[in-house]
Amino acid sequence: MEHSIFNHSTFVSINSRILELRPSAKRQWGKMNLVQMMRHLTIATGSGIRVYKLHDESSYLSRTFLKFLVLRLLRRLPHNAPAPKSFRTETKILLDFSAEKANVLNILELAYSSTQGIYLHPMFGKMNRNEWGTLVYRHFDHHLRQFGA
């Protein structure tokens, strides 16, 4: 079965990996530090469940080809893949580790328990439940691997 945030065992696995994160975790690639990455995941996931309203940055190409590539062809997101502008976290701001960890765990729980039929993504546009569940899993997995979790 495809990994999805709506699969209970996948949700538990991602949740456990977040709980294991420590402030000393070092990134393997990218520019964000650990706390910024957690804020990034909170905003990205929260936008899909309408906790945050983000600007539509999609194009026909991103809603069709890019979405197909990410969801159907790639098994993992590539390192240093560009994020929608609205998902980017300012790398010069200081954030609190404990607060951001609590926020990302909360948004993960909200995503897991969400029951929407349509989820919104700034680059991929409207996504059905299966698409969005897969994308959320891959996004979390990508960034948790980025920090060795």
**Tens of pLDDT, residues 97-121:** 999 999 999 999 999 999 999 999 9
Contact 70, 27 (CB under 8 A): no
What residues pair up with 33 in beta bridges, in sequence order? none
Task: Reply yes or no on whether the pLDDT at 57 is more than 90.
Answer: no
Which two three-digit tokens encode residue 137?
A: 């899993």
DSSP H helix total and E strand total for the chain: 6, 2
Cα separation of 124 and 122, whole Å? 6
Q: How confident is the model at residue 84 (pLDDT cuts 50, 70, 90)?
A: low
Q: Is pTM beyond 0.85 here?
A: yes
